[in-house]
Amino acid sequence: MPKMDLSGLRKYTVLFILLGLMAFFSLASPYFLTARNLTNIVIQNTYFIIVAVGLSFVMIGGGIDLSVGYQMSLVGVITAMAMVLYHLPLWLSVLIGLVLGTLLGLINGLIVSRIRIFPLIATLATSAVFQGISYLVSKANTFRSYPPEFLFLTRGKVLGVPFDILLTLVVVIVASLVYTETTFGYRLMAVGGNEEAARLSGINTKRMKVAIYTICGFLTALATMVMISKANTTNSSFGPGTEFIALTAAIVGGVSFMGGEGSVPALVGGVFVLAVIGNGMQLAGWGTYAQFIVRGLILLGAVAFDEYQRNLRLTQQKGR
């Protein structure tokens, strides 16, 4: 049976979907295709992009991290408490948050690589733990009135561009270079593609795994700073849910659920696909609840497409 080979087009799939959606919603609502709305979409999604980039390291390495949303919850309240409750200097508070996030990622990495628990279960378990700690520490309080310097992160502008957009841009560019230019990125693709073969090639796969969860933890913490600065308030319910959007965006953006594949530009496209759907549905008056259904269906569709591509290659290989 000849099957259509879409792999060459796959690079641009996300772009096509994004443009299609934008065309659709611009018909559905006159407000969609305005400069102001489009700018809003970008600004509202900077931290999703940072989390998705972090998650992409884990996924390309063949793992998964469901706990990112709960890492955000814990890092968020700790950072906020350091600033608001204990009046620590801003730099120290942010540093504490970033170090904490990195440690949470490290813990995930150690559990997955040393105790060898299946990452889906391991990070589901740590999600619950992180969330519990977050509520215990915050005593379910909400924290607000951050120091004004902290708000610069999302309110400030450099050369007319919002600071968090610049920050996101830096993360995206650096991550992109890591994948395409560095030894680490090359090896990570190998580990995600065939872990045992990578080990036999002399790559320390365990250390690699610890590294990717740690990177993910750090970037998640960085995203948390943007998130709580943008909201100008925090409590323990801030963060959870992000993992679903980041995961879906990554898969829509062509990061394979099975590891070994993915590119940062497409990943960013994936985030915007979800963002445009959310925004467009809102403007078209279809409400928030329907968005959940749509997001779920998109996740299913994207994973199915990923599987389809994979099977296609396998049958080709056997066929010759």
- Judged by CB under 8 A, which of 261, 267, 269, 299 binds another protein? 261
Q: How many residues does the chain have?
A: 320
Q: What is the rounded CA–CA span in Å between residue 166 and residue 230? A: 15
Q: Which residues does 151 contact at the CB level (< 8 Å), separation at least 6?
A: 229, 232
- Judged by CB under 8 A, which of 39, 44, 182, 232 binds another protein? 182
Region of 75-83, 158-166, 267-275, 310-318 interacting with another protein (CB under 8 A): 310-318
Q: What is the rounded CA–CA span in Å between residue 164 and residue 231? A: 13
Query: Per CB under 8 A, does 101 bind another protein?
Result: no
Q: Which residues does 252 contact at the CB level (< 8 Å), separation at least 6?
A: 14, 17, 269, 270, 273, 274, 298, 302
Minimum distance from CB of 199 to another protein (Å)?
8
Query: What is the signed CA dihedral for 94, 97, 101, 107, rounded to 10 degrees?
Result: 130
- Judged by CB under 8 A, which of 55, 98, 187, 234 binds another protein? 187
Binding mask 192-231 vs another protein (x if CB under 8 A, - otherwise)? xxx-xxxxxxxx----------------------------
Region of 37-45, 46-54, 68-76, 178-186 interacting with another protein (CB under 8 A): 178-186
CB 238 within 8 Å of CB 73: yes
Residues 241-260 within binding reach of another protein (CB under 8 A): 256, 260
Which residues of the shown chain bind another protein in the complex (CB under 8 A)?
Answer: 181-187, 189-190, 192-194, 196-203, 256, 260-261, 313, 316-317, 320
